[in-house]
Amino acid sequence: MRDAFVAAVKLKTNGKFEEAAAKLRSLTKKGKRNVRAAARHELAVLALQRGDATVADEELCALGLRYRLSAPLWLGARQGPALLSSDSMARSVRVLDNALPEEVFQQLRQALLAPKFWEEHGYPTDEFFSYSMPLGRRHPRKLLGAVATRFRRTAEVLAGEECGRVEWWTHRRSAGADSGHQLHFDLDELGMRRE
């Protein structure tokens, strides 16, 4: 069964979506539990990538999952820049790979790892905190200001408007299985009041 699963994934990778879906569907009905689960997952991902959220939701529910990423996020690569530049996406979160030069990233990483930062940040807990910093037009002399200025330029190009503030947040987690950051949604309370 594992070989059949690998073959189905290869079909998907090679763009033979109908064949891949048929093989994955058959694998969800027979074989070992882990192969059935992996086939359901791949079938759900394929369905989302093809714009069929109903099929994806059926497969994900069969796996016991209750949440997934929004369907339009899966279509971005397929639909290209037109989707990303549409008015409906103008207020969306953007992900930027390698947004900071490596040297600046390493400086920021070292600053956040240093005990001095955590001792002096002034919040009552290390679990979570955020800062909101006004953005001036002068060139900042401190590391976080330099990082904010760099992101400001990118954000203004993407948003098509000026940015007046930057918010940044961080938290500290212990190592282990639950050490990642939970998926969550932040609210734009001011934006909600305007609408």
pLDDT in tens, 145-189: 888 888 887 777 766 778 888 877 776 666 555 555 555 555 555
- Is 12:46 a contact under the CB 8 Å cutoff? yes
How many structural domains is the chain composed of?
2
Q: What is the pTM of this model?
A: 0.43
Torsion sign across C-alpha atoms 56, 62, 67, 68: negative
Please name the amino acid found at residue 23. K
Q: Which stretches of the chain score pLDDT less than 50?
A: 77, 79-90, 195
191 in a structural domain = no
The position carrying tokens 């500290």 is: 172
With beta carbons less than 8 A apart as the criterion, state whether 52 and 75 touch: no
Domain containing 47 equals 2-88
The secondary element (H helix, E strand) that includes residue 130 is: strand 129-134
Q: Could you tell me if residue 96 is inside a domain?
A: no
Q: Of 62, 88, 114, which closes a domain?
A: 88
Q: And the tokens for 45?
A: 């991902």
